[in-house]
Amino acid sequence: MAMNFEQARQNMVENQVRPWEVLDYDVLETLKAVRREDFVAPAHRNVAFADLTLPLGHGEVMMKPVIEGRVLQAIALNKTDTVLEIGTGSGYLTACLARLAGKVTSIDMHADFVDAARQRLAAAGVTNVALDTAEAVNGYAPAGVFDVVVVTGAVHAVPEKFVRWLKPGGRMFVVRGDSPAQTAVLLTHEGEGRFREESLFETDLPYLAHAAPVKRFVL
């Protein structure tokens, strides 16, 4: 019997995401509208809506739907916002960001991820996204600053350069700390180099390249 993807997507939103305190109407409608099953590997289509992280390759994962919902709600996007996504991955969260914001720039260090995401976004009719292959911590320098920065991989400490990419009033979602007890935080740029920090929830994600804690040798 063929899977009813429309019903599965609705169930994901109502039975997983909404109970995890994601109540923003626009976020919920976005998760219902964007076809998550089209952004996963063919072998994973039947588990696209499960409460699981899904492997993407290169040791990376696609976040659980509940985490994606919390991310989208926390950053409180407006239709005029410019967004930088660090870590394109499958392109699914990119598509959600694009539906809620004005323009999305998304980078990933894995060229095959970027190529696959470009095809998926084009197939989904998403036109307000610019993709680039770049390594964020040491190798990327954007041309401007953004209203929102979303970091989809963990960092042990937030790189100083990341916060410089935020406009005054801008918001950054990032997962920070030591695996397996990392904390998702929202940083808000209050102007003149001041940032307000809000802890959101605990989770565990693979680290961005060059953002993991330094290994210590114990004798």
pLDDT value of position 192: 86
pLDDT in tens, 147-197: 999 999 999 999 999 999 999 999 999 999 999 999 999 999 998 889 999
pLDDT range class, residue 214, cuts 50, 70, 90: confident
Per-residue pLDDT averaged across 16-32, rounded? 97
The structural domains of the chain, ordered by start, are: 5-203 (3.40.50.150)
pLDDT at 219 over 90: no
pLDDT value of position 218: 57
pLDDT value of position 215: 76
Name the β-bridge partners of 174.
Answer: 185
Q: What's the sign of the alpha-carbon dihedral 89, 196, 99, 45?
A: positive
Q: What's the sign of the alpha-carbon dihedral 170, 209, 27, 118?
A: positive
DSSP the chain: ----HHHHHHHHIIIIIGGGT---HHHHHHHHHS-GGGGS-GGGGGGTTSSS-EEEETTEEEPPHHHHHHHHHHHT--TT-EEEEE--TTSHHHHHHHHHSSEEEEEES-HHHHHHHHHHHHHTT--SEEEEE--HHHH---SS-EEEEEEEEEESS--HHHHTTEEEEEEEEEEESSTTSEEEEEEEEEETTEEEEEEEEEE--PBPTT-SPPP----
pLDDT in tens, 46-105: 999 999 999 999 999 999 999 999 999 999 999 999 999 999 999 999 999 999 999 999
Quote the pTM value. 0.95
